[in-house]
Amino acid sequence: MPITVKIPAQLRPATGGEGEIEIESAATVGDALDAVFAQHDGLRERITEDGDLRRFVNVYVSGEDIRFQDGLETAVADGAEVTILPAVAGG
Amino acid sequence: MSSTLQGLRCKECKREYPLEALYFCPDCFGPLEVAYDFSGLDAEEVRRRIQAGTTGIWRYADFLPFETRPASSLEPGLTPLVKADRLAEKLGVGEVWIKNDAANPTHSFKDRVVAVALAKAIELGFDTIACASTGNLANAVAAHAAAAGIDSYVFVPSDLEEQKLLATAVYGTTLVGVDGAYDDVNRLCTQLAEERGWAFVNVNLRPYYAEGSKTLAYETAEQLGWRLPDKIVAPIASGSLFTKIGRGFTEWLDLGLIEGELPAFHGAQAAGCSPVANAYAEGHDVCRPVRADTIAKSLAIGTPADGPYALDLARTTGGSIESVSDDEIRAGIRLLAETTGIFTETAGGVTTATLAKLAEAGELGTDDRVVVYITGEGLKTLDAVREGFEMHRIEPTLESFAETVAEPALA
């Protein structure tokens, strides 16, 4: 099963309007994001800086924050959902 | 009202955006903040306008992000700033002042931010407001929505204190208990804000909402006779309140309404959820997220959005960020109650315990004027004080009283 990467609405101009991008397969979150960037290069510098996530970006794999797991090395299973969200909400 | 409003500006890359329901910069994901231009204001005119204004936060409308002053029946603000001489003496500190923000319509500082966010939501044409809350915000959103007659949805962790659940539901909101921690609720609401088109006060309206906390700084300065304290102690959850108190003082210093320099900013966290205090202690400028486990549920945010800015403010003003244990929090609640007559919730216990800790460490001196921000009401977190009290149980007779409680004094 492919992996689905969900893009926040405000970034969709950089994906040609797509809110969900399907990736055939990826071992880690980093791989999945690289596959997304290969399709939509404009997203790379918005989401990452020097190869790491920008400090106000949150990424979740099936609802779990990857900062509690292995960061960009966090494994993604077949069929998993990777969600990118801004980290500046709440409080 | 405010011809001073400029737009929204990214705190990271400084790109500007229109005054809409936006909260992060699509270029760099940085938080957006309301930008003003106060250069056309005359300090003396502003002072007169404030003094002739309402007896709540709308007196500071020049510094708030809406076009016309709202007509709210639940105006928060102008809460007491109480000189706490017995507490100061006990701690060996020059002057301690308690800003008692439990004296707001729903008994916490959240009335300030919600009143501002609701005003903006109505101005932007929303008909439903919502929030992700640890409890106090839930109370405020439900109450202010009821007063304004608009729909509301309130999302909280399902294991919240019963008092906070009841004091939300009573206003007739749609109360949703989410099985998860606050950070899960927050993630869900970030997704819902996109999907539903509602005004989530602390998500898509967060730039406006956060501005409400500046009024704590304005009131402090005004109530001290247009002067600044030397040091402040305030709780940190997301870091928004802490940093906006700094912004409020800075705006007034820049305008010339007050003179001097920023107070030292001391932040207070519970040890069971102290991502900002940890980063401070380790010398980091970003916070590693934590899973919260503390009785101070209103501060239990493991992924603080404004953590980096709170760290910066504490460091640049010569302050600090401390953490205190659950036992210290309970002792803090008792200390404040027994020396000032003010009963605060667990967050205020965190703040008071931090005050005591700073005093003990010699960080607060006999020539310091310290303002302590007490952000919520003790009746909302009764579990925290359930243990450790004695009630004398007697028969309704003089003998029983003398036997059980106190022997009569000898004539």
Q: What is the per-residue pLDDT across B215-246, written as a single tens digit (0 to 9) for each?
A: 999 999 999 999 999 999 999 999 999 999 99
* Residue A28 domain flag: yes
Query: Do B75 and B115 form a contact (C-beta atoms < 8 A)?
Result: yes
| B222: exposed, middle or buried (Cβ count in 10 Å: 0-12, 13-18, 19+) | buried
Interface check A57 vs B, CB under 8 A = yes
Q: What is the per-residue pLDDT across B349-384, written as a single tens digit (0 to 9) for each?
A: 999 999 999 999 999 999 999 999 999 999 999 999
Task: Please give the CATH number for the structural domain made up of B81-104+211-385.
Answer: 3.40.50.1100
Q: What is the per-residue pLDDT across B24-49, written as a single tens digit (0 to 9) for each?
A: 999 999 999 999 999 999 999 999 99
> What is chain B's mean pLDDT, rounded?
96
Q: Over pLDDT 90: what percentage of chain B?
A: 95
Interface check A39 vs B, CB under 8 A = no
- Using only C-alpha atoms, what is the Rg of chain B? 21
Q: Do A90 and B303 touch (CB under 8 A)?
A: yes
DSSP letters for B242-299: HHHHHHHHHHHHHHTSS-S-PPEEEEEEETTB-HHHHHHHHT-SSPPP-----S-GGG
d(CA B94, CA B83): 11
CA–chain centroid gap for B192, Å, is: 25
Q: Over pLDDT 70: what percentage of chain B?
A: 99
Q: What is the pLDDT of residue B411?
A: 64
Burial annotation B18-29 (CB, 10 A radius, 16+ → b, else e): ebebbbbbbbbb
Distance from CA of A78 to the nearest CA of B (A): 23
Query: Do A60 and A82 form a contact (C-beta atoms < 8 A)?
Result: yes
- What is the mean predicted confidence (pLDDT) over B390-396? 95
Name the residue facing B206 among A13, A47, A88 (closest C-beta): A88
Which residues of B are less than 8 Å from A67 in CB distance? Answer: 288-289, 303
Interface test with A, best of B9, B29, B269, B306 (most A CBs within 10 A): B29
Q: What is the per-residue pLDDT across B107-129, written as a single tens digit (0 to 9) for each?
A: 999 999 999 999 999 999 999 99
- What is the mean predicted confidence (pLDDT) over A48-52? 92
Model confidence at B289, pLDDT cuts 50, 70, 90, reads very high
Model confidence at B290, pLDDT cuts 50, 70, 90, reads very high
Q: What is the pLDDT of residue A42?
A: 93
* Residue A40 domain flag: yes
Give residue A57's domain range: 3-86
Signed CA dihedral, A9, A11, A12, A15: sign only = negative
Please name which of B353, B140, B275 lies closest in space to residue A87, comparing C-alpha atoms.
B275
> What are the residue boundaries of the structural domains of chain B, listed by start?
81-104+211-385
Q: Which positions ≥6 away from B292 have C-beta within 8 Å?
A: B181, B182, B183, B272, B273, B300, B301, B302
d(CA B255, CA B215): 15
Q: For residue B69, is pLDDT > 90?
A: no
Q: What is the pLDDT of residue B72?
A: 75
* Residue A91 domain flag: no
Q: Which long-range contacts (CB under 8 A, 24 or more apart) does B50-59 make?
A: B50/B218, B50/B222, B57/B112, B57/B115, B57/B116, B57/B212, B57/B215
Model confidence at B389, pLDDT cuts 50, 70, 90, reads confident
Where are the strands (E) in B53-188, listed by range?
81-83, 95-100, 128-132, 151-157, 174-178
Which residues of A are less than 8 Å from B238 in CB distance? Answer: 90-91
d(CA B313, CA B309): 6
Q: For residue A22, is pLDDT > 60?
A: yes
Name the residue facing A56 among B24, B239, B241 (closest C-beta): B24
Which residues of A are less than 8 Å from B23 in CB distance? Answer: 86, 88-89
d(CA B329, CA B336): 11
Q: What is the pLDDT of residue B1?
A: 45
| B156: exposed, middle or buried (Cβ count in 10 Å: 0-12, 13-18, 19+) | buried
Which residues of B are less than 8 Å from A11 in CB distance? Answer: 26
Q: What is the pLDDT of residue B67?
A: 85
Q: What is the pLDDT of residue B410?
A: 75
CA–chain centroid gap for B8, Å, is: 22
Name the residue facing B186 among A57, A63, A90 (closest C-beta): A90
d(CA B138, CA B106): 10
Q: How many domains does chain A have?
A: 1
Q: What is the per-residue pLDDT across B142-190, written as a single tens digit (0 to 9) for each?
A: 999 999 999 999 999 999 999 999 999 999 999 999 999 999 999 999 9
ipTM over 0.90: yes
Which residues of A are less than 8 Å from B287 in CB distance? Answer: none
Find the CATH number of the domain harbouring A14. Answer: 3.10.20.30
Q: What is the pLDDT of residue B71?
A: 75
Model confidence at B387, pLDDT cuts 50, 70, 90, reads confident
* Residue reference for tokens 């990424």: A59
Distance from CA of B318 to the nearest CA of A (A): 25
